[in-house]
Amino acid sequence: MAKLAVVALGGNALQRDYQKGTIEEQEQNTFDTLENLVFLLKDGYNLVITHGNGPQVGDILLKNDAGESSYNIPQMPLDICVAGTQGEIGYMIERILYNVLGKHGIAKNIISLICQVKVNHQGAAFINPSKRIGRMYPGDTAEKLSKTKGWIFKEEQKTSGGYRRVVPSPEPVEIMNTEIIRQLVEQGNIVITAGGGGIPVYMDENNDLRPVEAVIDKDIASALLAATISADEFYILTDVPYIFLNYKQTNQQIAEFLDYKDAVRYLEMGMFGEGNMKPKVEAALSFLKHGGSKSIITEAAKLADKRYGSKITMHYNAGDVRHTDNYGNA
């Protein structure tokens, strides 16, 4: 049976920080990223693609604000906004991937699935919401919105006098429709799903699905999906070619090979940034803990070059060149 890889595309796979986010820019970025996945298909892998949605859902929230204030158009809740980005980004990836595969003479069916993800809607993440979303507001506007809409705001530390809405980021418990995803993949189809971490939902006392005003971490949800459908490898694509120890410090080092135990130790030491590499390493470890064989964290443009990328496994494999860290450990 063909090996199965789940590839989580980071936000920069679609839109760079320095770009305006025009459709032309996003399409070119998507094409360039998807070109780097072709080698997996040529190597005989089945493929599931997940993706982020940060810039896109932020734009929708801005349009929400503008529509309500200027044209009295009711705002849509966060779950609807996430669902909307799943549709638009899934369509773009699906169409462009079709063209990429055609260029390489590969015939594959591609399908995008809107994905709901069950979460614990009363967990610790709801006590102190921390995930920043949407635009930045001045203090008086944030206070007004907090009173009228019940939104929670936190001050942006990187700016002066600005506040952004924060929502819970609960841990995913169950990816819905995984049996359908598994069947589609086993038949050789490419599936695009779990966009933006999935739409957070929960089961109420009547066993009905209800939405949650929250945002799920895309990499953590992707890891759960990968483990649930028994993927062999889990790829997290980001904007750096490796995991770095002591990142951007004078003693920075590449960690090309890590086993589970060392990766956990580095997490506990605070080696990885809270808002960037830490959740990616946590997602990689979650996949391994639930039966996966290998997680790879790397830059999209370096994916096909085996010299790049940090490979995390439960145990070091024969031939792995172990790095030496700055704490006297081999």
Taking only the tens place, the pLDDT of each residue in 70-121 is 899 998 999 999 999 999 999 999 999 999 999 999 999 999 999 999 999 9
* Residue 12 annotated to the active site: yes
Quick one: average pLDDT of 226-243? 95
- Considering only residues 123 and 170, tell me which one the structure prediction assigns the higher pLDDT: 170
Token pair belonging to 319: 């031939």
pLDDT surpassing 80 at residue 251: yes
- Considering only residues 151 and 275, tell me which one the structure prediction assigns the higher pLDDT: 151
* Residue 280 annotated to the active site: yes
Q: What percent of the chain has pLDDT over 70?
A: 95
pLDDT band at 265 (very low <50, low <70, confident <90, very high): very high
Specify the pLDDT at position 76.
93
Q: Are β-strands 257-259 and 310-313 bridged in parallel, bridged antiparallel, or unpaired? A: parallel
Instruction: List the single range of 196-200, 204-208, 271-275, 277-281 with lowest mean pLDDT.
Output: 271-275
Q: What percent of the chain has pLDDT over 90?
A: 72
Which residue of the set 10, 12, 46, 198 is catalytic? Answer: 12
Which residue of the set 280, 292, 294, 311 is catalytic? Answer: 280
Taking only the tens place, the pLDDT of each residue in 172-210 is 999 999 999 999 999 999 999 999 999 999 999 999 999
Which residue of the set 52, 197, 218, 309 is catalytic? Answer: 218
* Residue 108 annotated to the active site: no
Q: In whole angstroms, give the CA distance from residue 136 to residue 221.
A: 27
Does the global pTM surpass 0.75? Answer: yes
Which residue of the set 10, 11, 54, 196 is catalytic? Answer: 11
Which residue of the set 118, 131, 294, 311 is catalytic? Answer: 131
pLDDT surpassing 50 at residue 326: no
* Residue 11 annotated to the active site: yes
pLDDT band at 149 (very low <50, low <70, confident <90, very high): confident
Q: In whole angstroms, give the CA distance from residue 122 to residue 282.
A: 22
Domains of the chain: 4-313 (3.40.1160.10)
* Residue 218 annotated to the active site: yes
Quick one: average pLDDT of 132-152? 89
Specify the pLDDT at position 320.
65
Q: In whole angstroms, give the CA distance from residue 90 to residue 251.
A: 40
